[in-house]
Every structure is written in structure tokens, then in C-alpha cells.
Amino acid sequence: MKLFKKGKLALLAGAMAMAVSGAFGSFALAADVTINMAVPDWPPTRIMQDLANKHYKPKSGNNVTISLDFIPWPNYYEKLAASLTSGEEKYQMAVSDSQWLGAFIEGGYYMKLNKFIDADPELQAIFKDLHPNLVASYSTYPHKTDNFYGFPQMPDVLVTYYRSDLFCDAGEQSAFKAKYGYKLACTPAEMSDTDWDQVRDFGEFFRRSSGDSLAGQTLNDDFYGIAYQAGIGYDFNTMQINGFIWQHGANIWDETKAPTGQALGVVNSPTAVKAFEHYLSLLEFMPPVVKTGTMDIFKTDELFREGKVAWNIQWIGFGESAISAETSKVADGTDFAQMPGLRNDDGSITRWSNIGGQPFVLTTWNSDLVTQESVDFVKWWLSSDTQHMFAAAGGQSGLQSVHTTDAYMDYRPWNHAFGPQLNWQKDVWHIPEFFELLVQQQQTFDKAITGQISAQEALDSIAVFQDELLREAGHIE
């Protein structure tokens, strides 16, 4: 009983406080606003907090505190989902993977931004300057419509990490030439011009056993040529396999074609099977952990930084730790290039890849004042100066007026690959059933990766599952 009374009292006090602050709020010169933002705990968000603390001065003159809740990556999704759906209304903004847009927009948690954009020429200019592939993946729902929800926080793409100390070694160069009849790629420009056939040769060529010599030094452990993600967790094989599927001209289920777009016959088309087989065929040149189906982006990153593999495909977000001597044994001999693709007859390369990175979004339960401050913060974040500071500290910018400048190219050794690679990005589904599609696909791909089933069987099973699920959800009629 006592408890209830106390609760009522507290409620009353709260209501009074609100009334008082409301009454005086309009007279006060500066209001106190706190924006709590759920973010994954890693450098791009830590840098954002740092820059906000040092440089952010709200135009409104209010006392705005940008408070980031750094949540460990492994449980970030579950934690964000729990917070949003539990109704605790704790976060005013959140960094979200683009694929989660559908699930949380349908739940009414992410705020539609069109009215702000329509009313604000500055925001319109920002949207015009953002790379269109980023707007499509990070902002639109339903995918590729004119309904906008997010802004890029840390755009990310897959690029090639390679050991230039090995690839440019004179001895290795001549041995490679002798064996394969063409020059081993060495400079970032040469490496950016590679196709999967060359990658296969890299894999075979750089596979050395303990006791063999590598770039003039005797190895005391096995060494492997290539690596890319092939892990069962989260999206750690889909992201690479999708690239192969699109490059070969096949497709995943296309949500923009709903409700007539099919899964059966598309997902398991002969071309898709060929693409998946192509992906699988390169696994034999990778470190032995690939056979467990757990070689995720963290494992390939570790293998690369520990100097066990010569060449790796990785998100740019891992670049800092690869070139930092505190975390990497190959910090000095590492360089970057665009992700390989399929060579066309005219010598050009088709490089479709799955986009990574995260947008940030506004939540729906905030007062107009908080919402306005959030929009202002986003505008500051996406201003040219801030984006340059972010890039100088190791982040990426989705603004074309920033990432095409000469200054941008000099910030980090991978930046030259970022802009061109952005042109080749597509994204996996954004519908609310995203996780069900993803988990079944990851597990089925994993069975093929660990040799339990064939590529054809895997894609057939995925197509049947998706057809059933999407029909039930009304995405296919």
C-alpha cells in the first residue's frame, strides 16, 4: 500500500516538475537537452563522441549533451531491439544496421524524416551530396522509395587488404611470373585491377608450409594465400556470397519487385549456383579454420594481422587496427585496393558487392525540441568540416564533395578504394522478416561451406524457404 502511495506521490511530483519546466521553458534562454544515442562500441562511434565533445556547438544556443551509450558489438542488435521494443524510450537516436530498418520502422520506433527534409534546404543539399547508393541502403524504406529514415554514420564497403611487402618482393614477383605467365600485382592500382582468377592464383602461389621460404625468410608456421569471410554468425558469409551472386549476374530475392518478384527460380537459378560454386572454389586456398564454417570477419582479420595470410577481403572499419603497430604484426607491409570482381570481355571488371556500414536514426517518442536538436546534430555531423575531421581520424564519409577530394585520399591508405567501390554497392533485404531470411541462409550456406551439402542443394533449400516465408508474409503473391 505504502509503495503505491509513494508511487503516486512521485508521479505527482514528476507531473508538477514537468508543468513547471514547461511553463518556464519558453521563457528560458537556453534549454537543457540530452540526446541519448545507442551506438556500437568501436572507433567510428568513439571518434564521433570525441568530436562532439570538442567541436559541437548547437546553433539553437541550447545546452545540448550528446551522450553515447557504447554497447559491445556482439550483442548490439539484441540490446537495441530489446530497448526499442520494451518501450523504455531510453534512446533519442540510434546507430542501426541498414538491414534492421524494416523491422524497427514497422514497429513504429524509427522516425520518418521527410517533413524535415522538405522544410530544410540544407538537409536537401546534404541528401543531394550523399552517394545515391548510401541513401538507398541507409535511408529508404520500403527499399528505394522516397521515404527517408536514416543518415550515414559510418559508411563502409568491402575492400582488399594485402601484404605489399610480399606481393612486391622481387623474388616472389619473378617466381610468380615464371609460374603463371603474368605479373603479380604489387601497387594498389594493379591490385585494384585484379579478378577472381588472379585471386585463385594468389591463393595457390602463396600457400606455403612451415619450413618453406617466403619473401626470402624461412617460415616457422604454415602460411596461406587468401581469405574472405565464411562464418556462420550474423551475416558473415552472406555479405561475401552476395557479391559473387551479383557479379555473375544472378540475384537475391528483390524486395523492390514485391509482390511479383520471385524467390524460387531466382535465388536458385543456374547462374546463382555457378556464382556460389565460384565462391566455394576459392575456400581451399584459405586457412584451415575455414573448414569449421566459423571463419568470420573477426577471424580473417586476426589471421591477417598475425601475418598468417597474404591477402584478405575486409570491411574498411578494420583498417585502423591492421596498420597500427600496437595491434598488427604486419602494420608496415599492408596496403589496400578495391575488391576484385569478374573480368568482362572488354577488360573491365564487374565488382558488385554488399554494402556495410551503419546509418543513424531518430526515434519516434521525442519532443519537438529534442527532435529538432537531433536533426541539427545530424546536420553538423554531415557538414563538410566535421566529415573531414572524421575522415582524418580514420572514419569514412558518404558525402561526394568530401570523399572525392585530394585531401581525403591522403587521410588513410584505403581511401582511394572507397569512392570507386561505392558505385558498386547493393544491399541485402530490409523487410521486417530480415532476420528469419538471414539466419536460414547463413546456416544453409554454412552447410555448403563445411561440405555437408552442395551449392545446388543449398540454394534450392534457401529458395524454398524464402518462397514459403515471403508468401506467408505477403511479400510474394
Shortest Å distance, C-beta 351 to other proteins: 24
Q: List alpha helices for 255-383, DSSP H.
A: 270-281, 297-305, 319-322, 368-381
Q: By three-state DSSP, how is residue 251 classified?
A: coil
- Nearest C-alpha neighbor of 313 from the set 216, 227, 222: 227
In the list 31, 94, 95, 103, the residue contacting other proteins (rule: CB under 8 A) is 103
In the list 31, 33, 35, 47, the residue contacting other proteins (rule: CB under 8 A) is 47
Contact stretch for other proteins (CB under 8 A) within 24-32, 39-47, 270-278, 399-407: 39-47
Shortest Å distance, C-beta 76 to other proteins: 8
| Residue 289 engages other proteins in binding (rule: CB under 8 A) | yes
- Give whole-number Cα distances, 272 to 77, 278, 335, 469, in Å: 30, 10, 31, 20
Q: Check residue 283 and report its DSSP letter.
A: G
- Distance between CA 465 and CA 107 in Å, rounded? 24
Tell me, residue by residue from 221 to 240, as one string, x for binding to other proteins by CB under 8 A and - for no binding: xx--------xxx-------
* 72 vs 270 by CB, closer to other proteins: 72
State the residue for C-alpha cell 534549454. 31
Shortest Å distance, C-beta 331 to other proteins: 10
Distance separating the N- and C-terminal Cα atoms of the chain: 56
Shortest Å distance, C-beta 345 to other proteins: 38
Kindly report the length of the chain. Answer: 477
In the list 8, 21, 88, 125, the residue contacting other proteins (rule: CB under 8 A) is 88
Backbone φ and ψ for 59, nearest 5 degrees, come out as -65, -30
In the list 150, 225, 293, 341, the residue contacting other proteins (rule: CB under 8 A) is 293
In the list 447, 460, 464, 473, the residue contacting other proteins (rule: CB under 8 A) is 447
Shortest Å distance, C-beta 34 to other proteins: 12
In the list 85, 187, 218, 348, the residue contacting other proteins (rule: CB under 8 A) is 85
| Residue 217 engages other proteins in binding (rule: CB under 8 A) | no
Q: Identify residues 343-382 at the interface with other proteins (CB under 8 A).
A: none
- Give whole-number Cα distances, 243 to 156, 351, 356, 388, 436, in Å: 15, 8, 12, 29, 20
Contact stretch for other proteins (CB under 8 A) within 259-267, 276-284, 297-305, 345-353: 297-305
Shortest Å distance, C-beta 151 to other proteins: 21
**Beta-carbon contacts of residue 439 (< 8 Å; ≥ 6 apart):** none
In the list 215, 264, 393, 473, the residue contacting other proteins (rule: CB under 8 A) is 393
Contact stretch for other proteins (CB under 8 A) within 58-66, 78-86, 191-199, 347-355: 78-86
* 3 vs 178 by CB, closer to other proteins: 3
In the list 36, 60, 454, 456, the residue contacting other proteins (rule: CB under 8 A) is 36
Contacts with other proteins: how many residues (CB under 8 A)?
Answer: 75
CB atoms within 10 A of CB 159: 27
- Nearest C-alpha neighbor of 94 from the set 303, 366, 354: 366
298 in Cβ contact with 229 (< 8 Å): no
Shortest Å distance, C-beta 184 to other proteins: 24
* 230 vs 399 by CB, closer to other proteins: 230
Shortest Å distance, C-beta 349 to other proteins: 28
Shortest Å distance, C-beta 249 to other proteins: 28
- Distance between CA 137 and CA 430 in Å, rounded? 8
Shortest Å distance, C-beta 224 to other proteins: 9
| Residue 73 engages other proteins in binding (rule: CB under 8 A) | yes
DSSP symbols for 388-425: HHHHHTT----BHHHHTSHHHHHH-TTHHHHHHHHTTE
- Distance between CA 298 and CA 409 in Å, rounded? 26
396 in Cβ contact with 378 (< 8 Å): no
In the list 215, 298, 343, 350, the residue contacting other proteins (rule: CB under 8 A) is 298
| Residue 450 engages other proteins in binding (rule: CB under 8 A) | yes
In the list 56, 58, 70, 190, the residue contacting other proteins (rule: CB under 8 A) is 70
Shortest Å distance, C-beta 161 to other proteins: 13
Shortest Å distance, C-beta 162 to other proteins: 18
**Beta-carbon contacts of residue 333 (< 8 Å; ≥ 6 apart):** 163, 164, 165, 166
- Distance between CA 68 and CA 45 in Å, rounded? 8
- Nearest C-alpha neighbor of 420 from the set 347, 333, 346, 348: 348
Contact stretch for other proteins (CB under 8 A) within 19-27, 140-148, 285-293, 333-341: 285-293
* 241 vs 342 by CB, closer to other proteins: 241
Extract the C-alpha cell encoding 47: 571518434
- Distance between CA 444 and CA 433 in Å, rounded? 17
Q: Identify residues 306-335 at the interface with other proteins (CB under 8 A).
A: 306, 308, 317-318, 320-321, 324, 326-327, 329
